[in-house]
């Protein structure tokens, strides 16, 4: 009989230890260092503070353009982050959200699909744009993780149809709903994933290993159709709210579909590519980015948030971030094992992910890998799952997990572990408040100024607001404004680009 300590030792694996160490480092980084990237300071933190009731317009006036985004962006994600900030009194707590979603989702996948937590997490860490965002405030990681979670239900149907139950369909619809309620640009993909899932599961031809949805279609087609329609409606998520309130489910993204024009504040042309690819078809541009052609030119680190911070004339401008070596290794590995498993299953898995990748490639901004990498994450999970569940080759399974670990560690190494370890030269919110920002705020307050403009401080304006300075003993009420049209900003000299 195996005793408890021995069972525990059997459950502890090198992959589990590595994934746990990564999570500890990421949690420490998220808690101790503030994400000062542009999107984080410009609207993620302000929106979380407003939704959480920490920041009011009496404290900080956001730009008019951002007020439109605030009205159109789904509030749930910002509200949850705001609550983390409010409950802890620590603004960096908002950055724990990504870890909560990924770890919680990995646990749920283990319960539903019997995929190992360590493998699920290491696959995420093997994607550079995901590792870069893990400890920050960007929303791409949780959204893509949830879309990949939903897409993995298709993999489960193909690999383990006899285990697929109605509860998996319900969870899939709910997971897609959460993703599309976090970010409206996930809505089209949520719909496509649900449709592919329903067709794959409902019309599966394997008579030996039938899944529950296929049985339901044969036995009670009206009920199957009702489930399919209801699940699709649920998968649209916050799109229904925007459709009713704004007349556009994807608001604030403006859409032109033939003669139909849907209102919005953000044009699809906002996602500009590198200059040399400006006139190249989106799919080819996306392919160049996937394989990271000249993706590291002039970049301070090989992988950074949004892959920006280089001139728009650079060939690396907003390109790369998927780590092509792991993609090619995974394709080669599946090609190698296709004979043992039968080419049919591998072909189906490859076809589903290739089709989804093709859909992604035609979407505006697809060359920026951080927006839509869910298909690739699902592909990595699928490779591990088919090897472990159908091939049942422990050595091959360990080889693939080792490849994910090597990729994750390599990405960490070439980025100097900046995204997974809280280095002392990375500031937290209190460091910033005590710095030159605090000095400026103090000089205004000492001069009796209770309302001043921070338009020229973009995107750092939020760091001048009262909540960031109360911990330093400044209890005086004052207001800062990042809106050029506000009274506080009308009296200042406008920067040339705002004239």
Q: Regarding predicted confidence, which is higher, 24 or 392?
A: 24
As given in the structure block, the two tokens for residue 143 are 């959204």
Question: Which three-class secondary structure string do you get for 429-489?
Answer: HHHHHHCHHHHHHHHHHHCCCCEEECHHHCCHHHHHCHHHCHHHCCCCCCEEECCCCCHHH
Phi then psi dihedrals of residue 266, to 5 deg: -115, 125
Give the C-alpha separation, 386 to 348, whole Å: 12
Report pLDDT for 9.
47
**pLDDT exceeds 80 at position 179:** yes
Give the C-alpha separation, 460 to 60, whole Å: 12
Element (H, E) at 262: strand 260-262
For the chain, percent of residues with pLDDT exceeding 90:
56
Q: Regarding predicted confidence, which is higher, 70 or 328?
A: 328
Give the C-alpha separation, 39 to 298, whole Å: 22
List the single range of 2-16, 152-166, 322-336 with lowest mean pLDDT: 2-16
As given in the structure block, the two tokens for residue 232 are 């699709």
Please answer whether residues 377 and 148 qualify as being in contact, where contact means their C-beta atoms are separated by less than 8 angstroms: yes
Question: What residue ranges do the domains of the chain occupy?
Answer: 267-373
Element (H, E) at 480: strand 479-481
Report pLDDT for 497.
38
List the single range of 60-74, 165-179, 485-499 with lowest mean pLDDT: 485-499
Q: Where are the alpha helices (DSSP H) in 160-186?
A: 166-182
> What is the reported pTM?
0.93
CA distances for 145 relative to 200, 373, 376, 392, 440, angstroms: 21, 9, 10, 26, 41
HSE value, Cβ hemisphere, 13 Å, CA-based, for 4: 0
Q: How confident is the model at residue 234 (pLDDT cuts 50, 70, 90)?
A: very high
As given in the structure block, the two tokens for residue 454 are 């921070």
* Average pLDDT rounded to a whole number, residues 477-491: 83
Q: Where are the alpha helices (DSSP H) in 291-323?
A: none
pLDDT digits (tens, 9 = 90+) for 201-216: 998 876 566 788 888 9
Give the C-alpha separation, 57 to 480, whole Å: 9
Phi then psi dihedrals of residue 451, to 5 deg: -150, 115
List the single range of 26-30, 89-93, 259-263, 300-304 with lowest mean pLDDT: 259-263
* Average pLDDT rounded to a whole number, residues 89-117: 95
pLDDT digits (tens, 9 = 90+) for 378-393: 999 999 999 998 887 7
Q: Would you tell me how many other CB atoms lie within 10 Å of the CB of residue 272?
A: 14
Give the C-alpha separation, 139 to 40, whole Å: 9
CA distances for 417 relative to 132, 378, 402, 426, angstroms: 10, 25, 19, 12
CA 178 to chain centre: 12
As given in the structure block, the two tokens for residue 305 are 């948030």
Q: How confident is the model at residue 327 (pLDDT cuts 50, 70, 90)?
A: very high
* Average pLDDT rounded to a whole number, residues 386-403: 89
Please answer whether residues 125 and 373 qualify as being in contact, where contact means their C-beta atoms are separated by less than 8 angstroms: no
Is the C-alpha dihedral spanning 321, 325, 328, 329 positive or negative? negative
Q: DSSP per residue over 153-165, as a string?
A: HHHHHHH-GGG--
Report pLDDT for 10.
45
For the chain, percent of residues with pLDDT exceeding 70:
93
Please answer whether residues 128 and 303 qualify as being in contact, where contact means their C-beta atoms are separated by less than 8 angstroms: yes
Closest C-alpha among 350, 387, 401 to residue 117: 401
As given in the structure block, the two tokens for residue 273 are 């590519």
* Average pLDDT rounded to a whole number, residues 9-26: 86
Phi then psi dihedrals of residue 478, to 5 deg: -155, 165
Phi then psi dihedrals of residue 94, to 5 deg: -60, -25
**pLDDT exceeds 90 at position 107:** yes
Q: Would you tell me how many other CB atoms lie within 10 Å of the CB of residue 281?
A: 11
CA distances for 210 relative to 110, 298, 391, 475, angstroms: 22, 53, 20, 66
Q: Regarding predicted confidence, which is higher, 282 or 458?
A: 282
Q: Would you tell me how many other CB atoms lie within 10 Å of the CB of residue 369?
A: 29
CA 456 to chain centre: 30
Give the C-alpha separation, 355 to 23, whole Å: 32
Average pLDDT of the chain is 88
Report pLDDT for 492.
55
Q: Please tell me whether residue 481 adopts helix, strand or coil conformation.
A: strand
Report pLDDT for 474.
63
Q: Please tell me whether residue 138 adopts helix, strand or coil conformation.
A: coil
Please answer whether residues 168 and 112 qualify as being in contact, where contact means their C-beta atoms are separated by less than 8 angstroms: yes
pLDDT digits (tens, 9 = 90+) for 131-171: 999 999 999 999 999 999 999 999 999 999 999 999 999 99
């Amino acid at each position: 009989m195996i005793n408890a300590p021995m069972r525990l030792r059997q459950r502890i694996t090198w992959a589990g230890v590595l994934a746990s160490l990564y999570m500890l480092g990421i949690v420490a980084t998220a808690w101790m260092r503030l994400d000062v990237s542009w999107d984080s300071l410009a609207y993620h933190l302000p929106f979380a503070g407003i939704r959480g009731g920490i920041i009011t317009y009496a404290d900080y006036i956001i730009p008019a353009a951002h007020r439109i985004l605030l009205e159109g962006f789904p509030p749930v994600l910002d509200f949850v982050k705001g609550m983390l900030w409010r409950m802890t009194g620590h603004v960096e707590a908002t950055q724990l959200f990504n870890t909560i979603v990924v770890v919680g989702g990995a646990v749920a996948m283990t319960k539903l699909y019997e995929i190992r937590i360590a493998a699920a997490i290491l696959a995420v860490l093997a994607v550079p744009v995901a590792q870069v965002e893990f400890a920050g405030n960007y929303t791409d990681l949780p959204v893509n993780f949830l879309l990949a979670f939903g897409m993995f239900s298709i993999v489960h149907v193909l690999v383990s149809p006899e285990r697929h139950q109605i509860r998996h369909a319900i969870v899939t619809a709910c997971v897609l709903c959460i993703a599309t309620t976090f970010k409206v640009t996930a809505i089209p993909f949520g719909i496509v994933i649900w449709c592919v899932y329903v067709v794959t599961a409902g019309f599966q031809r394997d008579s030996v290993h039938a899944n529950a949805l296929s049985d339901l279609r044969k036995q009670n087609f009206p009920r199957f159709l009702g489930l399919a329609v209801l699940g699709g409606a649920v998968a649209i998520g916050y799109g229904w709210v925007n459709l009713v309130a704004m007349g556009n489910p994807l608001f604030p993204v403006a859409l032109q579909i033939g003669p139909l024009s849907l209102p919005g504040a953000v044009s699809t042309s906002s996602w500009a590519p590198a200059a040399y690819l400006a006139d190249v078809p989106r799919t080819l541009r996306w392919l160049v980015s996937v394989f990271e052609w000249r993706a590291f030119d002039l970049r301070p680190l090989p992988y950074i948030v949004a892959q920006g911070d280089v001139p728009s004339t650079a060939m690396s401008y907003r390109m790369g971030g998927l780590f092509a070596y792991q993609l090619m290794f995974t394709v080669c590995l599946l090609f190698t094992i296709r004979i043992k498993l039968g080419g049919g299953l591998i072909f189906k898995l490859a076809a589903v992910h290739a089709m989804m990748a093709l859909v992604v490639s035609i979407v505006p901004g697809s060359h920026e890998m951080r927006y839509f990498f869910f298909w690739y994450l699902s592909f990595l999970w699928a490779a591990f799952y088919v090897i472990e569940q159908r091939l049942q080759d422990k050595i091959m399974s360990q080889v693939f997990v080792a490849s994910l670990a090597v990729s994750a560690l390599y990405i960490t190494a070439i980025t100097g572990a900046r995204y997974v370890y809280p280095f002392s030269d990375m500031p937290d919110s209190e460091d910033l408040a005590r710095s030159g920002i605090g000095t400026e705020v103090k000089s205004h307050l000492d001069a009796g100024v209770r309302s001043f403009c921070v338009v020229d401080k973009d995107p750092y304006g939020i760091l001048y607001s009262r909540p960031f300075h109360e911990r330093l003993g400044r209890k005086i009420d004052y207001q800062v404004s990042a809106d050029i049209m506000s009274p506080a900003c009308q009296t200042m000299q406008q920067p040339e680009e705002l004239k």
